């Protein structure tokens, strides 16, 4: 079951630098694309994350219609779908139907969440900065949730493997948590 995550802890859902699936649009008309260029930039009041998007992406066109997006965290079980929706555009095809990813209503934003993903950040775009062909989207997280079996304030890699982009069709997995004891 997914539990709500307090916004001052929401950044831990994407902190391990994992690949994410971003959804834009509405329940009636949505699209999904893969992102590896993402990072938390502010922990709380508000919690903010940064996404770097190429302006040509169809998902970005939908995001700009309501300035809302969902960041969904896939696990190893969604490797093929994650790669696929990052290789083809949703212009002219329904990537949800094609990949088997299931859109479900979000808590507070219009774009859907992806049911099979283990964590979700619901975001509103609050600032945009252009750099060459890309836009830097500063997003405020307005709701967060994560699968309680896999997330105890951080992902539990012994139970859930986030995906980490390497190159081409290669991804790495986080499989083990270790603790440093020198300083807290």
Ligand X SMILES: Cc1cc2nc3c(=O)[nH]c(=O)nc-3n(C[C@H](O)[C@H](O)[C@H](O)COP(=O)(O)O)c2cc1C
Binding site for ligand X (CB under 6 A): 19, 31, 33-37, 52-54, 57-59, 83, 86-90, 165
Find the residue with minimal CB distance to ligand X: 86
20 upstream amide cis, omega within 30 of 0: no
Separation CA 32–CA 93 (nearest Å): 11
Distances (CA, A) of 4 to 25, 107, 115, 131, 146: 23, 10, 15, 34, 7
Q: Name, in order, each residue with C-beta under 8 angstroms of 5's C-beta and a sequence gap of 6 or more.
A: 12, 13, 119, 144, 145, 146, 151
Which residues in 157-169 are b (16+ Cβ under 10 Å) and which e? beebbbbebeeee
Min CB(13)–ligand X separation in Å: 17
Min CB(183)–ligand X separation in Å: 33
Min CB(12)–ligand X separation in Å: 20
Rg for the chain (alpha carbons), in Å?
A: 16
Min CB(58)–ligand X separation in Å: 4
- Indicate the residue among 75 and 90 with the shorter CB distance to ligand X: 90
- Indicate the residue among 7 and 49 with the shorter CB distance to ligand X: 49
- Indicate the residue among 34 and 99 with the shorter CB distance to ligand X: 34
- Indicate the residue among 81 and 145 with the shorter CB distance to ligand X: 81
* Angle at CA of residue 105, ends 99 and 111, nearest 5°: 75
Give how far the C-alpha of residue 174 lies from the chain's centroid of Cα atoms, to the nearest Å.
17
Min CB(65)–ligand X separation in Å: 13
- Indicate the residue among 5 and 78 with the shorter CB distance to ligand X: 78
Structure tokens, 30 = 């949505």
């Amino acid at each position: 079951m997914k539990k709500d995550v307090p916004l001052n802890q929401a950044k831990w859902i994407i902190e391990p630098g994992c690949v994410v699936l971003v959804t834009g649009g509405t329940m009636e008309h949505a699209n999904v694309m893969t992102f590896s260029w993402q990072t938390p930039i502010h922990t709380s009041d508000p919690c903010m994350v940064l996404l770097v998007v190429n302006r040509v992406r169809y998902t970005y066109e939908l995001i700009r219609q309501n300035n809302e997006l969902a960041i969904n965290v896939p696990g190893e079980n969604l490797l093929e779908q994650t790669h696929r929706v990052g290789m083809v555009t949703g212009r002219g095809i329904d990537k949800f139907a094609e990949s088997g990813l299931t859109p479900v209503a979000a808590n507070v934003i219009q774009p859907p969440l992806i049911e099979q993903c283990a964590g979700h950040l619901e975001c509103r775009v609050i600032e945009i900065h252009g750099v060459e062909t890309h836009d830097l989207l500063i997003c405020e997280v307005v709701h967060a949730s994560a699968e309680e079996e896999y997330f105890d304030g951080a992902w539990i890699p012994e139970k859930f493997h986030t995906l980490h982009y390497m190159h081409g069709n290669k991804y790495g997995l986080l499989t083990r948590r270790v603790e440093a004891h020198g300083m807290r």
